[in-house]
A and B are shown apart, each in its own frame.
Chain A
Amino acid sequence: MSVEVAGMGHAKSEGPLKLAVPRGALLGETLDALDAIGVDTSEARGDSRSLVFETPGLTLVTMRPSDVPTYVEAGAADVGITGKDVLLEQADRVVYELLDLGYGRCRMVLAGRKGDERLGESERRLGMMRIATKYPRIAERHFEATGRQVEVIEVKGSIELAPLIGLADGIVDLVATGRTLEENDLEVREEILECTARFVANRVAHKLRAAEVDEMTAKLREGLAR
């Protein structure tokens, strides 16, 4: 009777809550936020190759930020932390977005080569811009919402390369300090949206482990306020 019929997720609800922790740029501040609510993150901070860290009251599972919605939706992790950019790009994943954690702030932007008119010229003369990105859905939505036609080219690696050697007229990418753009002679042309880290929960865990999920949300919220 519900419209959403996703694949099967196999989850176990015994033991402490499982938290999906993003590796990479968000890791440091995520562990700081966990310290602030009394989670022992010392093991996770070490240079251990382990992916799973047991702490009293919370199991930390480290993974790529873009995998967090997948694990949380399926219930393999009960709760998780990841960037809003990831949640928007995977908007069809059903997770509860409970809290804006405020850190990991960065901007999704459209960038082109400095002093290069190719973006405008392609749009005017070819009716279409070629945009390279790791975020095809966010890019498509942005250009659709602003009434422009684009050819979105999905690439996985260093996105800055694409306009430099002529794969694309511009890029849609996440920018924190802007240094990478600067180093590659690129400049911001449009701001698309601002992203921060978010606390998310599995739909069933949010119902069946309500007290634990609410307590963790409240503590994280308090931690932010301090």
Chain B
Amino acid sequence: MIHPIPPGTRDVLPDEMRELRRLHRAMIDVFESRGFGEVATPAIEYDEVLARGAGRTADSAYRFFDERGDLLALRSDMTVPIARLVASRYANAEPPLRLCYLANAFRAVRPQRGQMREFAQAGVELIGAPAPAGTVEVVEVLEATLDAVGLDRAVIGLGDADLYRQLLSEFGIEGEARDAVLGRLAAHDLVGLEVELSELDGIGDEQAATCVALSQLRGGREVLDEARAMGGSVVERATARIGETFEALEERGVADRVQIDLGLLRDLGYYSGAILEVYDPALGHVLGGGGRYDELLKRFGVDLPAAGFALYLERVHVAQMEESSGGEGS
């Protein structure tokens, strides 16, 4: 008899589980070897605690009442629960704190898309280490992790979370109009972006063109010069932030697989400063991402800068299989 399970969830059988377990171990070994201690937090938390971290962005997809009538929620990532944990359990600890995890998180799915409601993430959070040194350490751990799981062709995109918000403010675009433009940028809809910008009052053609062109700049150090040539103090500051991080990565010898990307835009509400995204040429989807969230801990009453990353375990597994089978059409 077939007893159904909800769409977007799945069982794992021994052959796959063995491989996943090897992957777990390889990743956690890298994290631990670099001083990141593994933690676990409850899958369900009080909704108001998670909402405190989520800021303006989407709430938890799954919420329910417990027997006392309190509103609970399933976590949608690990960064917010770890921020909560740090504020409660390590409030007086000497920073920086190095924590890592391998845990399942839960998100809403759109029907008919083969998306997962429940998925595993492996990642680290480095709390109390400011940019650029903290960012560089996180990137180093990320690279070591990718190497350890055989994804030596993977590329890390490095962008800046504040660039467009600040750029649009500089152009005098605020409120709903700014959200509409950011929405087009986040959806990667360049055609719509040009239309949206052209319909805005008070923004010149040149400014609109700058906004579109910036979002397409990605590559090596040279893109920072190209961006700077477009002018403006916001671009200057953002490129300076990225440049500083990139130089620090170069000094540590880990900049080779980092692609500077001024088009990066992460959709979670807590990012500020450097943001990261991970790609592998064998997979058409993003493997994971992360970045700085210097303002998040403040929402929990601890004023510490922080950065981290998370990789989707199942996607890393697929990429690993594709890479190891190698070559075209395999």
Interface-central residue, A9, A198, A207, A210, by most chain B CB under 10 Å: A207
Q: How far is the CA of A74 from the CA of B271 in the complex (A)?
A: 27
**Pairwise interchain contact A198-B191, C-beta atoms closer than 8 A:** yes
Q: How far is the CB of B320 from chain A (nearest CB, A)?
A: 12
- CB pair B191–A11 under 8 Å, yes or no, is no
Question: Chain B contacts of A1 at CB under 8 A?
Answer: 77, 79, 121, 123, 266, 268, 288-291, 308-310
A12 to B286, Cβ gap below 8 A? no
Please report which residues of chain A, range 58-93, place their CB below 8 angstroms from some CB of chain B when the two chains form the complex: 73-76, 92
Also in contact, A207 and B261, with CB within 8 A (given A1-B310, A12-B329) = yes
B327 within 8 A of A: yes
- Cα–Cα distance between A211 and B110 once the two chains are bound (Å): 33
Interface range for B: 35 or more
| Interfacial residues of chain A within 92-134, with CB under 8 A of chain B in the complex | 92, 94-100
* In-complex Cβ contact of A75 among B113, B283, B329 (8 A): B283
User: In the complex, what residues of A have CB within 8 A of residue B312's CB?
Assistant: 5
- Does any Cβ of A come within 8 Å of B189's Cβ? yes
Provide the bound-state CA to CA distance between A3 and B116, in Å: 11
Cα–Cα, bound, A34→B298 (Å)? 53
B192 A202 Cβ-Cβ under 8 A:
no
> Please, how many angstroms separate the alpha-carbon atoms of A76 and B283 in the complex?
9
Nearest CB in chain B: distance from A14 CB, A: 5
Collect the chain A residues with CB atoms within 8 Å of residue B267's CB.
2-4
Cβ B155 vs Cβ A207 within 8 A? yes
Q: A99 is contacted by which of B191, B282, B310 (Cβ under 8 Å)?
A: B191
Per-residue 0/1 for B279-315: is the Cβ within 8 Å of any A Cβ (1 yes, 0 no)?
1111111101111000000000000000011101011
A13 within 8 A of B: yes
Interface size classification for chain A: 35 or more
Q: Mark B144-174, 1 if CB is under 8 A from A, else 0.
A: 0000000000010100000000000000000
Q: Does B140 contact A (CB under 8 A)?
A: no
Which of these, B188, B283, B329, contacts A9 with CB under 8 Å?
B283
| Chain B neighbourhood of A207, CB < 8 A | 155, 157, 218, 259, 261, 277, 279
Q: Which residue of the partner chain A has the closest CB to B76? A: A3
User: In the complex, are the beta carbons of A96 and B188 less than 8 A apart?
Assistant: yes
Segment 10-28 of A: residues with Cβ below 8 Å from B? 10-15
> Which residues of B are at the interface with A, using a C-beta cutoff of 8 A?
57-58, 76-77, 79, 107, 109-110, 113-116, 119, 121, 123, 155, 157, 187-192, 216, 218-219, 259, 261, 266-268, 277, 279-286, 288-291, 308-310, 312, 314-315, 318, 322, 327-329
**When A and B form their complex, which 3 residue pairs have the shortest distance between CB atoms, in order from nearest?**
A75-B284, A7-B114, A9-B284
**17 further interface pairs, Cβ-Cβ under 8 Å (given A203-B284, A208-B155):** A1-B291, A2-B288, A3-B58, A3-B268, A8-B314, A9-B285, A10-B318, A73-B284, A97-B187, A98-B190, A99-B190, A202-B284, A203-B285, A203-B286, A204-B286, A207-B259, A208-B281
A-B contact pairs, 30 of them (CB 8 A): A1-B79, A1-B288, A2-B288, A3-B107, A4-B267, A5-B119, A6-B114, A7-B115, A8-B318, A10-B283, A10-B322, A11-B283, A12-B281, A12-B328, A12-B329, A74-B284, A75-B283, A76-B284, A92-B113, A95-B188, A96-B188, A97-B188, A97-B189, A97-B190, A204-B283, A205-B284, A207-B259, A207-B277, A208-B155, A208-B279
